[in-house]
Structure 1
Amino acid sequence: MASPAPFSRYEFLIAWRYLRARRAEGGVSVMTWISLIGITLGVMALITTLAVRAGFRSDFVDTILGANAHSTVYYAPTQIYNELTEETYVTPGRVEDYEAVAANIAQIPGVTRAVPAVRAQVMARQGDAAALGDVYGVTAESLKAMSGIVDSERSAGDIDAFDQGIAIGIGMARDLGIGLGDRLQLVAPDGARTPFGTTPRVESFEVVFIFSAGRYDVDQTRIYMPLAEAQSFFNREGVADEIGVFVDNPERIDDWTLPLLQVAGERSQVWTWRDASGSFLAALDMEDDVMFLILSILVLIASMNITSGLIMLVKNKGRDIGILRTMGLTEGAVLRVFFLCGAFTGVIGTIAGVVLGVVLSLNVDHIMAALNALTGGGAWQPEVRGIYQLTADLRAWDIFRAAVLSLGLSFIVTIFPARRAARMNPVEALRYE
């Protein structure tokens, strides 16, 4: 007579029968529930953490790409030696023929647009209030192409009137008490040149657009000014400070560095969005790995309870094991029965953890809103985190590796007590029965 195939139906029935609670075996039942709850909570925490970390990184990158050029081409400063005074002067790098340079860069395959820009810092004043501002002098077409600036639901004003005024961040507008149609006074340190030296330049500009880029630091400091106006205000007549480059695949921005240097010519340099935020993104990646490791340890600790429960179950079922062995059950069959006892706990806990983790991740914004309401807005501080809200990016890969980790640990820790049950001598098990 042929032996039954491994993991036959009767093995599942015996394993499931052993997992059913009895009053006399309350300790085994308690350990099973502790293992089940522990694995569920561990998997739920792992999936939620991975989703929140992925959502934070995605939002952070989106705010960078939505309000900034993907790459910037600029020129290094030059040194000029004056033979009469025997002094060396350093002149800042400027893009003189910026329209031609931008047109040549735009011809590079994969580059969607190249726009000249003037950059400077000013002091913005409104009454007694003042703030430091980063001015970006750009064309109206360039500003309209920045989705993170013009497409925000929190933005207000008429972007088509940009040539008649300036655009400022919502944070700066709030701090200075500025509204649409008000005039903002800008003070540039390198202003008008007179026979007595350079004096600060002070002018007032009408605020025609108030934007929200989704990042606290950008909304607090950034000011957009028409390119021609910025050239005149900052003594950049006929030149630009840099060329902003936008590509069709920002995640592979490094692929365009060499072509940009070749087209831009001598003394050109390239600064990508990864260069600007690379250290922060690298820190996020490292934190993701550390969090995954820490939460994996928590899942392992929860899985170890399966071992404790199975050891107690094997001890309580010694008589049953002896009877089953005398009836012809092989060591392999006994091993599989107790392996299934632990596997059931791991599988049920993993499924429950995945379901709860997905539900929690999909509702993390509502949970954070409730926490903010309870703490008076202290649960999430945009001035510290940089972005205004916490979102979750639920990815199939994160769910898969969390489930595989939980199942793998549950199956591994089950092997030792299952082997112990399989190697039990039926004579010794029945001697005192």
Structure 2
Amino acid sequence: MARTPPPFAGFEWTIAWRYLRARRAEGGVSVMTWISLVGITLAVFALIATLSVRSGFRAEFVDTILGSNAHVTVYASQREDEFGRMVRTFPDFDERAARVAEVPGVTRVAPLVKGQVMGTANGRNAGVEVFGIAQDDLETIPRIADPDTAQGDIARFSEGVAIGSGVARELGLGVGDQIKLISPDGAKTPFGTSPRVKAYEVTYIFTAGRYDIDRTRAYMPFGEAQLYFNREGVADELEVMVDDPESVENVALPIQRAAGEGALIWTWQDSSGAFLRALEVEDNVMFVILSVLVLIATMNIVSGLIMLVKNKGRDIGILRTMGLTEGSVLRVFFICGAFTGVIGTVMGVVLGCLFAIYIDPIFSFVNYVAGGGVWDPAVRGIYSLPAKLQWADVASAMALSLGLSFVVTILPARRAARMNPVEALRYE
């Protein structure tokens, strides 16, 4: 009794390989194969490049938020002070900060004094948001206390102010220069409130990585900020950092309870959640659109296989009369189509990974060719186009491309398998 050969036997691979090496007389098949290969390669490359840029943009955006802003902000509800004025400050900020610091998951609590002023130097003006903070707390902010991107000595912070690189660029300042801060809420006089004007030495210039932060923010020693903004003995809010910012909602309520009566909270997800949700929707839409491009590219495999089946009709008839089963014929042409999909997917993955790894020199070249100004940080918020290669994104792109390549190959392969050998040889 003859033994049935196993699926995808050696002779099936041999026949498929001979068909893939098209002769000159079958140049059309070869052209369609190359079109399919290039199309799948470019589609997979575009998909991986888009996914990596998407992941990099979100990671950079979130990192700049978490690296330079509070994970949770505790602020006071409106109350009446001893002079009958409506204020929103914490007179007992030390006690509240101590209680919040005991909440599991909280890594740091820093009282802040905040105010908006006008900074002026060298005949230029710029709006500046001043954060009054203790030096020990400032040194724990990752994106601010980064010696690789900063200028000056953060240890001299108590001797002056720290300003963002955008503020320094706008006002033409360097470390050691003087910046004049003007606040409309100054000293109280019988004739009204006079603006407060005071000059400070710039002791530290930081780069947080976000244009809007570097362009508007400055830090002032906490005690000096209390005097400058008429906040003697009080703090405007508490800046809270947690060990797991992505799950900040789990500690938000315990923080509010620990902060005590009249305390309200605002998390980083509350302030940036709408943007992140919009980014997620855009990511999903882009994935669907690029998936359609992959599908269109794989459809070229169908055209190539249909032409191959038509040209090889005589061969199919001869192989069937020699005893080749329908399953073997199906697998032969399935290998022909799947081989194109596999090679195209591999090449697309390689190109996509190289793009994500070397995006900085690629972007620099594009910027040079375009004459500069391709990426405007004032619009995008961050200074460069980031890319983060995640193996989950690569795996999803490969699964999508290979899956579509295998599925669309089945129809023409099945057509070849069901071809009647008598009809195929009738006119031969």
Shared fold (TM-score greater than 0.5)?
yes
Query: C-alpha distance in 1, partners of 2:305/2:283?
Result: 33
**TM-score when scaled to structure 2?**
0.97
> 1:264: how far off?
1.1
> 1:92: how far off?
2.7
| Aligned 1:274-285 pairs, distance under 5 A | 274-285=269-280
Verify: 1:118 aligned to 2:113, yes or no. Answer: yes
Q: Deviations over 1:61-115 (max 9, x none)?
A: 11111111111111121369x9xxxxxx872321111111111111011111111
For residue 150 of structure 1, give the secondary structure of its aligned residue in structure 2.
Answer: coil
Verify: 1:61 aligned to 2:62, yes or no. Answer: yes
Query: C-alpha distance in 2, partners of 1:391/1:315?
Result: 48
> 1:375: how far off?
2.3
1:66 is matched by which residue type in structure 2? G
Q: Deviations over 1:327-365 (max 9, x none)?
A: 111111111111111000001111111111111111111
Name the residue aligned to 1:313.
308
Verify: 1:227 aligned to 2:228, yes or no. Answer: no
Is the CA contact 2:174–2:202 (under 8 Å) kept in the aligned structure 1? Answer: yes
Name the residue aligned to 1:289.
284
Verify: 1:411 aligned to 2:406, yes or no. Answer: yes
Q: Deviations over 1:195-223 (max 9, x none)?
A: 22222111111111111111111111101
Query: C-alpha distance in 2, partners of 1:267/1:311?
Result: 74
Query: C-alpha distance in 1, partners of 2:394/2:61?
Result: 22
Cα separation, partners in 2 of 1:125 and 1:365, compared to 1, 3 Å: same
> 1:152: how far off?
4.9
| Aligned 1:82-101 pairs, distance under 5 A | 91-101=86-96
> 165, 171, 183: which is aligned to 1:170?
165
Is the CA contact 2:122–2:172 (under 8 Å) kept in the aligned structure 1? Answer: no
Query: C-alpha distance in 1, partners of 2:390/2:310?
Result: 43
Verify: 1:40 aligned to 2:35, yes or no. Answer: no
Is the CA contact 1:368–1:379 (under 8 Å) kept in the aligned structure 2? Answer: no
Question: Matched residue pairs, number?
Answer: 427
Is the CA contact 2:96–2:260 (under 8 Å) kept in the aligned structure 1? Answer: no
Query: C-alpha distance in 1, partners of 2:262/2:10?
Result: 76
1:35 is matched by which residue type in structure 2? S
Query: C-alpha distance in 2, partners of 1:68/1:270?
Result: 14
Cα separation, partners in 2 of 1:427 and 1:90, compared to 1, 3 Å: farther
For residue 37 of structure 1, give the secondary structure of its aligned residue in structure 2.
Answer: helix
Query: C-alpha distance in 2, partners of 1:13/1:404?
Result: 26
Query: C-alpha distance in 2, partners of 1:388/1:109?
Result: 35
Q: Which runs of 5+ in 2 are unaligned?
A: none
1:23 is matched by which residue type in structure 2? R
Name the residue aligned to 1:21.
22
Query: C-alpha distance in 1, partners of 2:122/2:38?
Result: 60
Query: C-alpha distance in 2, partners of 1:427/1:180?
Result: 90
Verify: 1:375 aligned to 2:374, yes or no. Answer: no
Verify: 1:270 aligned to 2:262, yes or no. Answer: no
2:351 is matched by which residue type in structure 1? L
For residue 30 of structure 2, give the secondary structure of its aligned residue in structure 1.
Answer: helix
Name the residue aligned to 2:102.
107
Query: C-alpha distance in 2, partners of 1:410/1:345?
Result: 8
> 211, 214, 230: which is aligned to 1:216?
211
> 1:180: how far off?
1.4
Query: C-alpha distance in 2, partners of 1:207/1:326?
Result: 90
Verify: 1:182 aligned to 2:183, yes or no. Answer: no
1:20 is matched by which residue type in structure 2? R
Is the CA contact 2:187–2:195 (under 8 Å) kept in the aligned structure 1? Answer: yes
> 1:391: how far off?
2.1
> 193, 198, 203: which is aligned to 1:198?
193
Name the residue aligned to 1:70.
71
Query: C-alpha distance in 2, partners of 1:197/1:220?
Result: 32
Name the residue aligned to 2:425.
430
Q: Which runs of 5+ in 1 are unaligned?
A: 83-88
Query: C-alpha distance in 1, partners of 2:257/2:213?
Result: 31
1:343 is matched by which residue type in structure 2? A
Cα separation, partners in 2 of 1:346 and 1:15, compared to 1, 3 Å: same
Q: Deviations over 1:20-59 (max 9, x none)?
A: 1211110010000000011011111111111111111111
> 1:406: how far off?
0.3
> 140, 149, 157: which is aligned to 1:145?
140
1:47 is matched by which residue type in structure 2? I
1:31 is matched by which residue type in structure 2? M
> 1:385: how far off?
0.9
For residue 190 of structure 1, give the secondary structure of its aligned residue in structure 2.
Answer: coil
Q: Deviations over 1:236-258 (max 9, x none)?
A: 11110110001111111111111
Q: Deviations over 1:124-176 (max 9, x none)?
A: 11142100000000000111111101215231111111111000011111111
- Deviation above 6 Å: which 4+ runs of structure 1? none
Query: C-alpha distance in 2, partners of 1:298/1:90?
Result: 63
Query: C-alpha distance in 1, partners of 2:342/2:122?
Result: 66
Is the CA contact 2:337–2:409 (under 8 Å) kept in the aligned structure 1? Answer: yes
Compute the RMSD of aligned alpha carbons.
1.5
> 1:377: how far off?
2.2
> 123, 131, 135: which is aligned to 1:136?
131
| Aligned 1:1-12 pairs, distance under 5 A | 1-12=2-13
> 1:267: how far off?
2.4
For residue 181 of structure 2, give the secondary structure of its aligned residue in structure 1.
Answer: strand
Query: C-alpha distance in 2, partners of 1:327/1:321?
Result: 10
Query: C-alpha distance in 2, partners of 1:217/1:173?
Result: 13
**TM-score when scaled to structure 1?**
0.96
